[in-house]
Amino acid sequence: MLSRVAERVYWFSRYLERVESIARLIQVYTSLLSDLPKDTGISWHNLVLASGSHAEFERRFQVKDEKRVVRFLLEDQSNTSSLAFSLKMVRENIRTSRDTLPPESWELINEFQIFVSENIQQGINRRNRHEFLEQVIRTCQGINGLIADTMRRDGAWHFLRLGKNLERADMSLRTIEAGASMSAEFAAADMPEAAEVVWSSVLHTLDAMTPYKRTMRVAVSGEDAAAFLLEDALFPRSVACCVRQMQESLDMLPDGVEVKKTLAKIAKPLGGKIDYVDLQKLLVFIDSMELHFRSLHSAVDQAWFQPR
Amino acid sequence: MKRSKDSSIGIDWSAYPADQFFDEMITPKGNARRASREVVRHFSGLSREELEQRRIAAERTVRDMGVSFTVYSDGENIDRVWPFDLIPRVIDAEEWQRTAEGLKQRVRALNMFINDVYHEQQIFADGVVPSYLIKDSKNFRPECVGITPPEGVWAHICGCDLVRDSDGKFYVLEDNLRVPSGVAYMLENREVSKRVLPEFFESNSILPVDNYPSMLWQTLASVSPQKRRQPVIVILTPGVYNSAYFEHAFLAQQLGVELVEGADLVVDDDDIVYMKTIDGLERIDVIYRRIDDMFLDPEVFHEDSILGVAGLMRAWKSGNVAIVNAPGAGVADDKVVYAYVPQMIEYYLKEKAILPNVKTWLCDVPEHLEYVLENIEQLVVKPANESGGYGMMVGPHASKKDHEAFRKLVTENPRNYIAQPTLQLSTTPVITGIGEAEPRHLDLRPFVLQGKELQVTTGGLTRVALKKGSLVVNSSQGGGSKDTWIVQREKD
């Protein structure tokens, strides 16, 4: 498989995952804000933080109200983490590598982009937002399902899997980070009941509520939720599970010694050694994990995408 | 023009003006031509609403299928949706069979000509074609002299443009032997009409077109220098900004081969072409290139080309890789050379040309030039080497200023211009409004493949002018397209 195609397939998968993540994030956040007491001081700006694009947002905007934030995350083409931009990159990457993916995926992506460009206003206003975002999430799941069901498990498949899981793990980390930092604020403000609402929404964002309850068999708490999302080996959006899937794919690809080393570093602390009680320590830990994932991407890029 | 008020009738053929030009579907008396009878009947049977629904469905399908072409405008590349007209263009299967024979004959002779040009140049020595054609040709490549590509074939993939004149007969308008495009749209058009007009396919005997990818694969595989069961074939594209990128990606997928850019390939000191994969370097046997000669290899042609691959010509000359079409094949893609194709057919094949050329005046023949200058208002003047309809002038549609400008151009550079009569191009119905169809001019681009064997597409790509009275069918200049149905006539 061509190095260039490997790179495009990898980014296709990352951006597709990002589209779904943004939709989930806004979806859950909209409902979180309705559930929290008005005086919590939690604003729409936390959503920008969770999406990882706050630097760009702050450079451009003073006002941090709902409309501006949602527009920025949904339709802003100059925000490389926005839904519209990510979807454009999904199409751009499949357009240049459509010979390697199942033929129907091209048509689905086209329909998807037309749907989003025609309906994105529905996502801006609260009244139809839920329906619009639900449709976006379902379409992503449909495309993932099509690919999972029809694609040969060749090199391209493993690059898809690498990209998806790297993006996923990164998103899970940022969601946990957002939850932990909000909890820390509530603890300081003596509002422990708000923390439970926040962690529920963290679990919902990652579609983890039911699996969490069935696995952990406890009520929702910050410590247990964070532990589940970081260390459960079997839940697809937990960091440990993403890491395991990446390891499996790495074993199927040629070379990549440096990538394997970096991934091993990430995997090491995920074996019951994390302090969940001290929120500040947890935040520092998550921060270091995010940096490791960034090095992981560089290692992948060096190993396979740079023509030798 | 009178219009039907009855909304139960889709297209009212009695209101359709078929008597101005040769119409391919409707006779001047308003009856359906024999091969089109079923199609015309079907369209009459659809109500206005149904017809409009089908039209919208077709538009939607084209968009969902992502069928597009890229135009360059105001310094920007814009991806446009492929314009598709719902009513198919119908050609009688028996007529097509003869036409296909004519196309094969033509391409066979053209390939013999190119091979002759790069070897003995016997045809010049025998005085059949003047040798100055080659000396002054922009597309003659001295680097190719003495090379014999596999099977002696240079132009493996040709797009020959056909038009019908007022007599209803097919004429060859030009031969595209460099990197002809459009075949993906031919295949996609069929896909669209199968989806939106499914019942038409039940009652008509419409010959399929979808064997093209396997025809193409066979052609490419048959010229592989290494005779192995699974030759490594790639399509070389200039990249996503090329107007035909959609087609490059589409064909790569249909053929199951890699779509590569210049930077993905490398030629080593062993004169072998490799592609850069995640496993290292992999040897390539056949390159179906969709970039022009001059960008192929910076070692030999434009040295600043970043689209090509350094050393590609070395590898090709050593016989380690096949390039399709071969470098230098464009020497026969020249409107002056075109004028001599009937003579070539007689010379190389000892046969009469089955398909006639359009009458052509060569501006560097003094008597011809004189005629062209005197009659420029009635003529179509074309540069010898351009494609895509650029740089030409249609006399009757042009201004006095243009006539003057072209008189000057042809006088200054006669070798570079030819003139042809303004043909009364045939028409076919195009949907122009709800329940309305009007005649529009059209042409046809069939594709001829030559490797070990010679094959022709079933029909080809029909391009149609969407503006009333316009003769320009190029999609880059506002043309549209239709599915082309080769229909076996019912016995009556």
End-to-end CA distance of chain A: 14
Backbone dihedral angles phi then psi of residue B377, each to the nearest 5 degrees: -65, -25
Q: Which residues contact B73 (CB under 8 A, 6 or more apart)?
A: none
Give the best residue of B278, B282, B290 to mutate against chain A (max A CB count within 10 A). B278
Mention every residue, 6+ apart, whose C-beta is less than 8 A from residue B491.
Answer: none
CA torsion sign, A30 to A22 to A112 to A204? negative
Q: How far apart are CA A92 and CA A89, in angstroms?
A: 5
**Test the B interface: residue of A88, A99, A252 with most B CBs within 10 Å:** A99
Interface test with A, best of B59, B265, B277 (most A CBs within 10 A): B277
- CA nearest to B335, candidates B359, B354, B352: B359
| H/E run at residue A191 | none
- What sign does the dihedral A101-A103-A108-A113 (CA atoms) show? positive
Whether residues B66 and A307 touch (CB distance < 8 A) is answered with no
Supply the pLDDT for residue A293: 96
Across the interface, whether the CB atoms of B66 and A4 are under 8 A apart is answered no
Set of chain A residues whose Cβ sits within 8 Å of the Cβ of B240 = 92, 95-96
Tell how strand B417-421 and strand B361-362 pair up. antiparallel
> Cβ A95–B277 below 8 Å, yes or no?
no
The backbone torsions φ and ψ at residue B153, rounded to the nearest 5 degrees and listed phi first, read: -100, 130
Give the chain B residue nearest A108 (alpha carbons).
B64
Q: Which two tokens stand for residue B57?
A: 């469905």
Extract the tokens encoding B107: 């391409």
Q: Closest residue of B to A155, CA-based? A: B278
b/e burial code for range A103-124 (CB count within 10 A of at least 16 → b): eebbebbbbbbeebeeebebbe
The yes-or-no verdict on residue A231 having pLDDT over 90 is yes
Q: Which residues does chain A have within 8 Å of residue B188's beta carbon, measured at their own beta carbons?
A: none
* Single-letter residue type at B407: R
Q: Which residues of A touch B249 (CB under 8 A)?
A: 95-96, 98-99
Tell me how close the Cα of A76 comes to any Cα of chain B, in angstroms.
20
* In the predicted structure, residue B471 carries a pLDDT above the cut 70: yes
How many helices (H) and strands (E) chain B has is answered by: 14, 22
Nearest CA in chain A to B239: A96
Q: Which residue of A has its CA nearest to B238?
A: A96
Burial of A307 (0-12, 13-18, 19+ CB in 10 A): middle
- Range name among A37-51, B352-366, B435-449 with the lowest pLDDT average: A37-51
Taking only the tens place, the pLDDT of each residue in B177-233 is 999 999 999 999 999 999 999 988 987 789 999 999 999 999 999 999 988 889 999
Beta-carbon separation of A99 and B253 below 8 A: yes
Q: Cβ A254–B279 below 8 Å, yes or no?
A: yes
Å from A130 to nearest chain B CA?
A: 25
What separation, in Å, do the N-terminal and C-terminal C-alpha atoms of chain B show?
34
Question: Per-residue confidence at B134, pLDDT binned at 50, 70, 90?
Answer: confident
Residue B145 near residue B118 (C-beta atoms within 8 A): yes
Q: Which residue in chain B is spatially nearest to A6 when comparing CA positions?
A: B278
The partner residue sitting opposite A308, judged by closest CB among B64, B250, B276, is B276
Predicted TM-score of the model (pTM)? 0.88
In tens, the pLDDT along B254-270 reads 999 999 999 999 999 99
- Measured from the Cβ of residue A12, the count of other Cβ atoms closer than 10 Å reads 30
CA distance A1 to A256: 15
DSSP type of residue B20:
S
**Contact between chains at B66 and A106 (C-beta distance less than 8 A):** yes
Question: What is the identity of the amino acid at B486?
Answer: I
A237-251 burial, b at 16+ Cβ within 10 Å, e below that, comes to bbbbbbbbbbbebbe
Q: What is the mean pLDDT of residues A144-168?
A: 96
Does residue B249 carry a pLDDT above 80? yes
Nearest to B63 among A92, A97, A114 (CB): A114
Q: At what angle do helices A192-205 and A222-231 cross, to 10 degrees?
A: 20
User: What b-and-e string marks burial along B141-176, b requiring 16 or more CB atoms within 10 Å of the CB?
Assistant: bebbeebebbbebbbbbbbbbbbbbeeeebbbbbbb
Say whether domain B361-421 belongs to CATH 3.30.1490.270: yes
- Residue B325: C-alpha distances to residues B150, B211, B232, B236 (Å): 12, 20, 17, 12
The whole-angstrom separation of Cα A43 and Cα A26 is 13
| Closest C-alpha to A16, from A123, A203, A145, A198 | A145
Complex prediction ipTM: 0.80
pLDDT at B300 over 80: yes
Confidence of residue B74 (pLDDT cuts 50, 70, 90): low
Domain positions in chain B are: 361-421
- A93 to chain B: which residues are within 8 Å by CB? none
Residue with tokens 């995952």: A17
How far is the C-alpha of B181 from the C-alpha of B290, rounded, in Å?
Answer: 9
- Tell me the mean pLDDT in the region A178-182: 90
Burial B56-65 (b: 16+ CB within 10 A, else e): eebbebbbbb
* Size of chain A in residues: 308
Closest CB from B66, B263, B275 relative to A110? B66
Q: What is the pLDDT of residue B2?
A: 44
- How many CA atoms are closer than 13 Å to the CA of B39, on its beta-carbon side? 28
B171: helix, strand or coil: strand
Q: pLDDT digit string (tens) for B8-20? A: 667 888 889 988 8
Cβ-contact A202, A225 below 8 angstroms: yes
B295 contacts B305 by C-beta, under 8 angstroms: yes
Task: Give dist(CA B373, CA B378) in Å, integer.
Answer: 10
Q: Are B423 and B77 in contact (CB under 8 A)?
A: no
Check pLDDT > 90 for residue B141: yes
Contacts of A99 in chain B (CB under 8 A): 249, 252-253, 256-259
* pLDDT band at residue B3 under the 50/70/90 scheme: very low
Give the B-side interface with A, CB within 8 Å.
63-66, 240, 245, 249-250, 252-253, 256-261, 263-264, 275-280
Contacts of A253 in chain B (CB under 8 A): 278
Q: What are phi and psi of B162, to 5 degrees?
A: -115, 145
User: Which chain A residues contact residue B263 at CB under 8 A?
Assistant: 4, 307
C-alpha atoms less than 13 angstroms from C-alpha of B48 in its C-beta half-sphere: 14
- Considering only alpha carbons, which residue of chain B is nearest residue A91? B66
- Statement: residue B443 has pLDDT above 70: yes
Compute the 3-state secondary structure of chain A and give helix, strand, coil in percent, each to the nearest 5: 80, 0, 20
How many Å apart are CA A25 and CA A73, to the nearest integer? 10
In this prediction, residue B1 carries a pLDDT of 44
- φ/ψ of residue B472, rounded to 5: -95, 120
CB-based contact A307 B252, cutoff 8 Å: no
Task: Tell me the chain A residues in contact with residue B276 when contact means C-beta distances shorter than 8 Å.
Answer: 2-4, 307-308
Interchain pair A3, B256: CB under 8 A: no
Taking residues A77-84, what's their average pLDDT?
92
Which residues on B lie below 8 Å from A157 (Cβ)? none
